[in-house]
Amino acid sequence: MWQTLRRDAAPSTLLAAVLALLVGYSGPFLIIVHAAQSAGLSEPQLASWVWAVSIGSGVAGAWLSWRWKAPVITAWSTPGAALLLTALPGTPYPEAVGAFLAAAAIVTLVGVSGMFDRLMRLFPPALAAALLAGILFRFVGDVVGEAARDLALVLPMAALFFIGRRFFPRWALLAAIAAGVALSLGQIRAPAAGSWQGLAGPLFTMPAWSWSACVNLALPLALLALTSQFLPGMAVLRASGYDLPARSPVTALGVASLLTAPLGGHGVTLAAIIAAICTGPESHPDRRRRYVAGLLCGLLYIVLGLMGGALAAWVLLLPKALVVAAAGLALFGTLASSLGAALADGEHREAALLTFVVAASGVSISGLGAPLWAMLAGGLLCRLLSPVKPPPEKAVEAAAR
């Protein structure tokens, strides 16, 4: 094993893994912190959350990369974390953990049964993209609100971010966050002595079950994981020439999510955007040796997961405007691509628009949140507006006339 790794490793694979992790942690980590702050979670609960999703991503990603000799890059569900920004504050934490378990069970069942590809065809991609865009819309819009309250901090961050999107897109978000930290140095104080200065550790929470949490959290979390993470993640792998069966990563990451849910993990999934960094020729000219980038990325996840408590302790000292702005900017590109995908499909455009509007409204009716109502409204309108296709035998008869 070690001889094989030494033979296949290259500086470019290490660089790709480090870059993927930097991009993966820069924005999504702040989204988790923002969600934890909104829900009033304790510092140990936040540290355990970071530990769970990081260790789960690292172990599963490293194993899958070695098992299939492919750069399988994993991550926690960023759309799921964005959903929790609104859903978690109104949900008792033990019930949220129960919903995490239920969502993981759904994903695992989809993987074990081999239903992944068939289920993805039942919910049109345009509606899935619209649902994601509707969930993200509020958090990107929060950047404008924070700019009104702290223009001197948020405006330079946003300006550098958009300039970076033009000239150095991979580093744009990191540059914006670095600028925000530099502008906030006068407001940052070192953590108090003894405040999480060591390694992070897991904190078990006994799950509690409620119909409301399962409907408002578990179903949207599972759907977002399958449509917004696993589907594009598999597309990236297959586009790069890695034809591994979807059942393996969906099942493995579903099991990883089941194991980490009682520790606060909201879901471990395939990465999509950062995966392209490790699956392309920049990682290694030889496609057969790029799996090392997946292994290294998994190991780095584990290291950062063990340091999660200290990382979170420092991030909690940052001004709220910086955290909200960084989280919103991190989601900007995903919102843009999701809106584009939602409205590009002429056949489902109206249903996708309705899905987006309902999801973005934040409405809650009878204890059921906006994501579920968006799925129902968009799905019903899609069914209503879709032309009725004749049975195969009648279609053949009509064509023969």
210-247 confidence digits (pLDDT tens): 998 988 899 989 988 887 788 778 877 876 778 888 89
Task: Please give the pLDDT value at position 4.
Answer: 74
Average per-residue pLDDT in the chain? 83
Task: Please give the pLDDT value at position 261.
Answer: 97
190-194, 284-288, 302-306: the lowest-pLDDT one: 190-194
Q: Looking at the predicted structure, is the pLDDT value of residue 185 above 60?
A: yes
Task: Please give the pLDDT value at position 396.
Answer: 47
Residues 6+ apart with CB under 8 A from 357: 134
Task: Please give the pLDDT value at position 100.
Answer: 97
CA dihedral of 281, 284, 289, 291, whole degrees rounded to 10: -80
148 to 143, 156, 193, 253, 328: CA distances (angstroms) = 9, 13, 35, 41, 15
Closest CA to 227 of 132, 150, 353: 132
Q: Looking at the predicted structure, is the pLDDT value of residue 401 above 80?
A: no
Neighbours of 362 (CB within 10 A): 14
Q: Looking at the predicted structure, is the pLDDT value of residue 298 above 90?
A: yes
| Stretch 364-392: mean pLDDT | 74
Task: Please give the pLDDT value at position 29.
Answer: 82
Task: Please give the pLDDT value at position 332.
Answer: 83
| Stretch 300-325: mean pLDDT | 78
Q: Does the global pTM surpass 0.75?
A: no
Q: Looking at the predicted structure, is the pLDDT value of residue 191 above 60?
A: no
Task: Please give the pLDDT value at position 390.
Answer: 54
Task: Output the 3-class SS for the chain.
Answer: CHHHHHHHCCHHHHHHHHHHHHHHHHCHHHHHHHHHHHHCCCHHHHHHHHHHHHHHHHHHHHHHHHHHCCCCCEEECHHHHHHHHHHCCCCCHHHHHHHHHHHHHHHHHHHHHCCHHHHHHHCCHHHHHHHHHHHHHHHHHHHHHHHHHCHHHHHHHHHHHHHHHHHCHHHHHHHHHHHHHHHCHHHCCCCCCCCCCCCCCCCCCCCCCCHHHHHHHHHHHHHHHHHHHHHHHHHHHHHCCCCCCCHHHHHHHHHHHHHHHHHCCCCEEECCCCHHHHHCCCCCCCHHHCHHHHHHHHHHHHHHHHCHHHHHHHHCCCCHHHHHHHHHHHHHHHHHHHHHHHHHCHHHHHHHHHHHHHHHHCCCECCECHHHHHHHHHHHHHHHHCCCCCCHHHHHHHHHC
- Give the model confidence (pLDDT) of 245-277 as tens digits: 889 999 999 999 999 999 999 999 998 767 877
117-131, 156-170, 192-206, 273-287: the lowest-pLDDT one: 192-206
In terms of average pLDDT, the best of 40-54, 163-177, 315-329 is: 40-54
Task: Please give the pLDDT value at position 388.
Answer: 55
